[in-house]
Amino acid sequence: QRRTGQLPVQKEGEEVDYRGVLHRDGSVLMSVTLDHLKAPELLYKSLAAKLIVGMPFKDLATVDSILVRELPPQDDKNARLVLKRLIDISMGVITPLSEQLTKPLPNALVL
């Protein structure tokens, strides 16, 4: 029997739209390493995100969420910007609690 449940909903006043983190017909997740974050355009393409002037956009074939086992250091502004851009297009960035406690990433999901 098929499972049923509630997907995230957007509430008024929320800063981030979490509706794209899961897909009602099944979610696609991908593991991303720190090395992937060093080449943003290659990463966006591997996530099947559309690129418009170097900025990622989500479409039907795009990965729903990524698992980042190790967050970049706080001073690595470029890698953190890549993750922020993914969060901004409603892609879930899932990270271990230990990483989020030591190197917090705003609006990331904790595993």
For residues 89 and 24, what is the distance between their CA atoms, to the nearest angstrom?
A: 18
Residue-level pLDDT at 35: 97
The reported pTM is 0.84
Residue-level pLDDT at 62: 92
Mean pLDDT by 10 residues, the chain (111 residues): 72 77 81 97 95 90 94 98 95 96 95 88
The closest of 30, 3, 35 to 86, measured between CA atoms, is 30
Residue-level pLDDT at 13: 81
Where do we find the tokens 């250091």? 73
CA 102-77-63 angle, to 5 degrees, is: 80
Residue-level pLDDT at 32: 98
The closest of 77, 13, 95 to 40, measured between CA atoms, is 77
